[in-house]
Structure 1
Amino acid sequence: MSDPATMRAGLLATRDAAATTVGTITVDSYTRVGDNTGAALALARGSAMNGYPITAHSRRTTRRVLHGLGFPVQVRHGSAMPGDIVSALVAAGMHATEGGPVSYCLPYSRLPLRDSVENWTRASERLAAVPDHHMETFGGCMMGQLCPPSVLVAITVLEALFFRQRGLRSISLSYAQQTSPAQDVEAVAALTSLAGELLPDVDWHVVIYAYMGVFPRTPAGARRLMAEAARLAVTTGAARLIVKTEAEVHRIPSVAENVAALEHAGDVAALCTPAPADGRDTETYAEARAMIDAVLDLDADVGIALDKGFSAGYLDVPFCLHPDNAGRARSYLDQDGQLRWSATGSLPIGGPSAHRRDMTSSDLLAALSYMERRCDTN
């Protein structure tokens, strides 16, 4: 929402939902690509934008948006050039944002990964100087779908280590709900175990994102999928859940629809019991640990190691077209809806298992709509 009054009204509605909530401000497309002049011109013309132009609005305006809300607000942006955004949010009195040098570069930008690492280094150090800062790595949400969980877990942990090295000590690690509830539970358990081992001096927690791919078309199917996300968050011991709405597949949801989704998730969560598992004796843990160790061995600086890791193919995101992604790893959905490797390229995890298969174009289309079909027909 680009209008400050509308943005504040949305935050108030989120705060007042019948659920435990935090607020978010998502920036517009001009700002996320560093076109601050374009954002300012659009604002001067009175044009509606697809987000809040935090660098174009004055610090005073944004402070008025936030005044007296009484709950945390996090800035979301999708930028490989986050410096001005972080400076603006800090100036407005905020201290929480999200992203990462990989997760906000490869899916959204053509910027070289090396440049993104440099940009995120400066922004992270700026945020680390702020009391009560918080950074959320978006690494567990790479491309949203069709990534075997181990690569998501590896990237989110490596980005957390990058942030830690830049002085940040309050970090959340993300994981996006995928196509198999059982595989998701294993993945979050592996993520939790790795974070416990590798981030001993960091105040960290896990945040779950509801499915980021093609959403069910029916209200019942959408609610079913959102309920699975809420159960995943609670049972695995995650601290937060980013929700989707029933309108997700049709259009941009309204504030009321977002509030309804928050309340639905809260109702489901209230019926669940945390039962976090030890993830160390799992395939996801073993693969993710192998990727993390291989990358960290490349350089003492985690940012440089990430760049080298992608160059070497030790990290490789299926179906990602960014020039710095090797593009040799491939995945597919097995008969149980679990994501498997069909080709591992140079990933340090050995070759794909015996049940490998090559994904055709029709297989890809079917995989992309798998959750829509499963939830709409059950």
Structure 2
Amino acid sequence: MTGDGFGGFVRRAHDAGRLVVQPRMGMSEPARMRAGLLATRDAAATTVGTLTLDSYTRVGDLESAELALLEGVSLNGYPIVSHDRATTHQVLDGIRGPGFPVQVRHGSAAPQDIFRALMTVGLDASEGGPVSYCLPYGRVPLRESVANWAESCALLAALRETGAEPHLETFGGCVLGQLCPPSLLVAVSALEALFFYRHGIRSISASYAQQTHARQDAEAVAALRSLLGELLPDAEWHVVVYAYMGLYPETPQGAYRLLGQAAELAVASGSERLIVKTVAESRRIPTVQENVDALEYAAAVAARTERAPLPGTASQTYAEASALVNAVLEMDDDLGKALLSAFALGYLDVPYCLHPDNAGLSRSYIDEDGRLRWADIGRMPLAGIADARSSHAITSGELIASLSYIRRSFDPETTPGAVSG
């Protein structure tokens, strides 16, 4: 796709007052993947398409992906590297275009082969990041992930020479998906966006995943938008909100209510795009129709929601996120090296993340109002800024209860009522 591509499509939709909604959809069989893209395009909503890749491709086990294709075994995503170019062209033919861009979603700490494959078939939009697709997903050393992502950004950025405008979306606002206080999500998302920019990408989206408290989420998105404005004054950027990524409600009522709040958050905060969840999330991989139902429901909620953005810098979340970002940027002019130093020193520290390159000293908890707060800031430069409850040791029982907090709050037969907002 030439011209302004994925980011331009989202910008035009936003300028017209429409929220772009997107599924997380991937099937290994080309006919099923094509049918999923068609259904997404034809939904009663402003949509973009998704090719979500399989687990083998994500970790670079291409031999297993190719063997599965030979044996006719279904995978949990589309193996874009293993399918030949003609097959993927057939999947996209007549569907993908200026009015319906398609993004490749993967989860890889070493996405070079993925980027080469998507570029070969004319695609130019993907997502991830050197931190967010390393720490939560495996044991690939962070140093390798940073180098891999620098190379991958350069590969994708080269498309600009052909007249395309390649797009990358950070996954940093979704680190571990849950129990990560918003300030760290915002900081990592902003830093990954800057990493993309410094490696040649000019069309960028920054993610934020819905958490446990509606007002805190609104403050977080406002803080993220402010930081992006400060860090990326010359880039085209937008914000993408993810519907809650932890244990999802088990009832249709709870699932739709939570998705509705995500759509309200996206519109009210001025965000341009929303990644949806479906009623099936708590049980299995959703069908195409369930994805379409979620897209149309979110679009309907968005259409009746008014924008009501908060001041971006007047919150606790902004104060913490800004302190983290500035501390990292002061470490080294090379942002990749700065990120490595920040994790080595514990200046960035993801709670409950067991990756060897994560300090593992920080802890979080959900307070009585439903807000995510720091229980222990470890060595992060938040002393005097964050109100950490360091004297309280988080028990295993509290951790398990926190993991199911949203499910219990939104499923009516367990605990009636919604999350505080």
TM-score when normalising by structure 1: 0.98
Distance across 2 between alignment mates of 1:200 and 1:24? 28
Q: Which residue of 1 aligns with 2:399?
A: 364
Write out aligned runs for 1:1-378 (5 A): 1-69=27-95, 70=97, 71-130=100-159, 131-350=164-383, 353=387, 357-376=392-411, 377-378=416-417
Is the 1:107–1:143 contact (alpha carbons within 8 Å) kept by the matching residues of 2?
yes
Distance in 1 (CA, whole Å) between partners of 2:135 and 2:401 is 24
| Equivalent position of 2:22 in the other structure | none
Task: Tell me how far apart the structure 2 counterparts of residues 358 and 97 of structure 1 sit (CA, whole Å).
Answer: 39
Check the 8 A contact 1:139/1:174 in 2, yes or no: yes
State the Cα deviation string for residues 96-153 of structure 1 (Å, max 9, x = none): 0000000000011201000000111111100011121000000000000000000000
Q: Distance in 2 between matches of 1:124 and 1:134?
A: 10
Q: 1:53-85: CA deviations, max 9, x gaps?
A: 100111111111111114110000000010000
User: 1:358: Cα distance to partner?
Assistant: 2.6
Task: Please list every run of 5 or more consecutive structure 1 residues that lacks an aligned counterpart in the other structure.
Answer: none
SS at match of 1:173: strand
Deviates more, 1:202-211 or 1:281-290: 281-290
SS in structure 1 of the partner of residue 336 of structure 2: helix
Cα separation, 2, equivalents of 1:121 and 1:152: 21
CA–CA distance in structure 2, aligned partners of residues 249 and 126 of structure 1 = 37
How high is the TM-score relative to the length of structure 2? 0.88
Q: Determine helix, strand or coil for the equivalent of 2:46.
A: coil
Q: How many residues align?
A: 378
Instruction: State the distance in 2 between where 1:213 and 1:29 align.
Output: 19
Separation (CA, whole Å) in 1 of partners of 2:394 and 2:255? 27
Contact 1:234 1:272 in 2 (8 A): yes
Identity of aligned residues (%): 62
1:187-209 residue CA offsets vs partner (Å, 9 max, x unmatched): 00000011011100110000000
Query: C-alpha deviations, 1:294-346, integer Å up to 9, x for none?
Result: 11111111111111110011100001010000000000000000001010011
8 Å CA contact retained: 2:373, 2:388: no
Where structure 2 has 5 or more consecutive residues not aligned to the other structure, the ranges are: 1-26
In the aligned structure 1, how far is the partner of 2:236 from the partner of 2:345? 31
Q: Secondary structure at the match of 2:219?
A: helix
Residue 251 of structure 1, CA deviation: 1.0
Question: Structure 1 93/344 Cα, relative in aligned 2: closer, same or farther at 3 Å?
Answer: same
Equivalent AA in structure 2 for residue 125 of structure 1: A
Looking at structure 2, the residues matched to 21 and 125 of structure 1 have their Cα atoms a distance apart, in angstroms, of 28
Q: Quick one: distance in 2 between partners of 1:274 and 1:303? A: 36
> What secondary structure is seen at the aligned counterpart in 1 of 2:47?
coil
Q: Which amino acid aligns with 1:364?
A: L
Q: Per the alignment, in what secondary structure is the counterpart of residue 207 of structure 1?
A: strand
Write the distance in 1 (CA, Å) between the matches of 2:397 and 2:173. Answer: 26
Q: Could you report, residue by residue, the CA deviation over 1:26-59 in whole angstroms, capped at 9, with x for unpaired residues?
A: 1111111011122111111111111111001111
- Would you say the 8 A contact 2:376–2:389 is kept in 1? no
- More displaced stretch, 176-185 vs 297-306: 297-306
Q: Which runs of 4+ in 1 moved over 4 A?
A: none
For the Cα contact (< 8 Å) 1:332–1:358, is it kept in 2? no
SS at match of 1:51: coil
Give the Cα separation in 2 of the matches to 1:6 and 1:46.
Answer: 13
Query: Counterpart of 1:113 in structure 2: which amino acid?
Result: L
Query: Would you say the 8 A contact 1:78–1:99 is kept in 2?
Result: yes
Provide the C-alpha distance between the structure 2 equivalents of 1:301 and 1:172, rounded to a whole number of angstroms. Answer: 21
